[in-house]
Chain A
């Protein structure tokens, strides 16, 4: 029998409300011990939560969900308590004392939702991201996956693959029936459609990973071009979304910002200049490497400055440095001149990239899609029908690995609904 589990669902510490969730077959019994009874399924009511001697621990809003119509698919009790550390601790101890439930392991509620088919694997990934989301774009992206957009997309691609498999199978297994002789053009059309979507998904998934993990913007320029000043200004003006990165107080090396809802890490790099000093040469080549790995490279240009050749073709934005001194426009971290323009430019370029995000968000999902893409490509180049059919199967299995399960019955079902089989 499944054990009943409980855990604090909200963050620990002082807060307005704290929610303790209980899931499993004993959830009702626990509700009855603590609150006398549970509300009718799907509703809530205010109850006193009582301690062992009948003392009142708190007044709680009690919610009752009856399996399978709950997050985990099991019976679920929710106690909305006052967000006091002491209240939470007392109620947790009371639940544990009933001996009917144990404390949940991290992620165990979600795991049960997965096991009870309330969520599929992609949705679980989406949920994980949703909980981690710090910016608006991250929330939107995770929400899409969590609400099943990826599952729907996969279902659509699978349908295309199954139809292609059905056509090929029809010409193989029903060769003596009245089925179309040359199905390859239609197979090719179906799979080309799938491949185009797969390619877009794969491309988008790279960007999606950035949305999740953060874009990197490298600021480049000669020593003393004002890079650090700019970053300090940004840290002060924009919403710095983390403060626990080393050195964030005064001499900022990188700062994590929310720009137009996107998580962006702005990197300071070592000043770029030719040098005889062996140590400085190493520093410069590291800066170049780091800059190349970033998503955007911004150059603060000074007159006498020459870019290292490795970067020449890779600069995305250029501004004149130290606008306060030159008076020629550009950026000055000191006066704030041009900083708004800089933020707007970064937002514009990154937003454009984000528009390519489709539904896939993880490298695991991307790998499945890549395998499917390769397999469908093989189908189109296959000469023999049975070999083509083999590759379609491979492709379908790859799509399955992203989401679900295909079998021969699905293919036969498609054939029988489309062709009149049986002479």
Chain B
């Protein structure tokens, strides 16, 4: 069978794959999405939740660029909670638990309705490689899907092995088979590979849990949505149960450590420190005699419960024993045992800023295969890879997301310049411009970029422009309202009597002041709508810090603007240590700024590179 020609073919229908496919088709590329089964689209293989700190920022950014994840999360959200609600807006992260079935349905429907996107249900057996470029894929039935560019989002399929105690199952996820030929092809490219591991907890039957004696965690009363287009809650909100491990639980685990795949020496990969198995917690924090567990229902129509906090690779009988030692879970029925999975990932320093493999043009990688973990991280990479593959295929200029304007840029830059030592997860602390890269202003930061790339539809464009207009008007109004300390004090606003006349925006920067207070100075202000008012309050709060960061960033920008050619002769740079020379040759930073972020880089070495760059400029001039 002969498939039609495509501009871009995406392999894999997980979070990275569908976002890549959607970004590619929105760019205008004829796009094929190849996945084993239609039902695999939008499956949450681990925790049934979207967002969190840093992760919520990523989802907002994906949405601001017209992506799918935010809308699917809102279509399935059953317990919205804004994390860090009591802290400043810059570090608040939207999160929700999602109904698995609703989430997958939202994704499936979107893919089915999307123009320019063809879904192919098949197993990809191999790549088509011509002139050292990936130009399509070969399916298991031998047929070919030709394309100008390929995006591989195959998760943990490279030598993926599942461990339950001493039982081993080959495969990427429970029930999936690995694609051997494709894996061999990847291995034969001679890419630097690393090995990681991750784990999941046993799944429990909700009806077997004694909810009555457990503490509850409720959803927020005023939910914070992911998508800038969402205006209402779509699904019924539910509560989670909270319980704890105890000394007896720890005893059981301690006694059986030798039978754990991770501790019995059966797994060599490196696991994430921020998501340790229960074995890890018991060993590494031996002084703690209790750890918290959240019992999260996986949906409104299913009885499956995800006990968040006890992922494990112990044998099934031990899992039974320790689960039953926990309050409320004495009679809990295990529907599916917890397991650990180890897999190979491609060292992401072998990728360009567009997530394209340097050694094989046209092949883009996104998601877990790049050493990341998390749906949100995968989706954000998918968006970048899909967009880049499409633009490359259509002969458009490449796009680079910068650290200054998005968490997406922070993540891509971290991956391609520093590589990963453990599964990479987003944190707000990774973003040095955290105070300006907020979840609340993701649209202001990124939708204009999306518009210039032509990937934003009319509905979103209108919503965005209307919101920006309201904000601009509000800002102008607050800048026109001014008050001397005396005038401010007269209406009960405490400011220093320094004689300085302040604008409404400047007054709003005071922590305990809000729009209602300003209305006492100028009644006009009370005409601002709630959303605009709270957005302006956030802007005012961070204004001085953002301005200072702006200045730092400008200094940095000189480095960022200094391009390093891909064929830069590091071997000729006199005085560079062999170690750094090796790293630079491997990573091939595209700017001086990126070079500066390589692990172990010294100011002296940067100066040497800069000197060489100047020399080269002189020669070519």
Contact = CB atoms under 8 A, between A and B. Distances in A.
Given A117-B577, A411-B429, A420 B87 contact: no
Contacts of B576: 115
B442 interface: no
Contacts of B288: 420
B368 to A, nearest CB: 18
A48 interface: no
A2 B284 contact: no
Interface residues of B, number: 46
A105 interface: no
A420 B608 contact: no
A390 B273 CA distance: 24
B574 A386 contact: no
B583 interface: no
B interface: dominant SS: loop
Nearest to A416: B273
Interface size bracket, A side: 20 to 34
Given A2-B575, A412-B429, A420 B511 contact: no
A76 to B, nearest CB: 15
Given A2-B574, A390-B435, A175 B429 contact: no
A172 B574 contact: no
B340 interface: no
A169 B574 contact: no
Contacts of A176: 52-53, 83, 95
Interface stretch (B64-72, B148-156, B178-186, B289-297): B289-297
Interface in A73-121: 73, 112, 114-117
A114 B604 CA distance: 8
- Of A112, A172, A412, the most chain B CB neighbours within 10 A belong to A172
B84 A422 contact: no
A49 B288 CA distance: 70
B591 interface: no
B355 interface: no
Given A116-B577, A422-B281, A423-B308, A175 B293 contact: no
Contacts, number: 101
Contact of B427 (A73, A173, A393): A173
B608 A384 contact: no
Contacts of A2: 574-575
Interface in B487-530: 511
Interface string B598-612: 010110110010000
Contacts of A115: 575-577, 604-605, 608
Contact of B429 (A1, A169, A178): A169
Given A117-B602, A385-B88, A420-B281, A172 B429 contact: yes
B550 to A, nearest CB: 13
A4 to B, nearest CB: 11
A17 interface: no
Nearest to B284: A420
Contact of B574 (A1, A387, A420): A1
Contact of B53 (A172, A383, A385, A409): A172
Interface string B277-292: 0001100110010011
B291 A178 contact: yes
Interface string A150-182: 000000000000000000010011111010000
A117 B292 CA distance: 46
Interface string A225-266: 000000000000000000000000000000000000000000
A69 interface: no
A421 interface: yes
Contacts of B54: 173
Given A1-B574, A3-B574, A173 B428 contact: yes
Contact of A420 (B285, B293, B605): B285
A247 B292 CA distance: 82
Interface string B40-58: 0000000000001110000
A169 B91 CA distance: 10
Interface string A393-423: 1000000000001001101100010001111
10 contacts: A115-B605, A175-B83, A178-B291, A178-B292, A385-B88, A386-B435, A393-B432, A405-B602, A422-B281, A423-B309
Interface of B: 52-54, 83-84, 87-88, 90-91, 95, 272-276, 280-281, 284-285, 288, 291-294, 308-309, 427-430, 432, 434-435, 511, 545, 572, 574-577, 599, 601-602, 604-605, 608
Given A412-B427, A421-B276, 6 more contacts: A169-B429, A175-B53, A385-B88, A387-B435, A420-B285, A423-B308
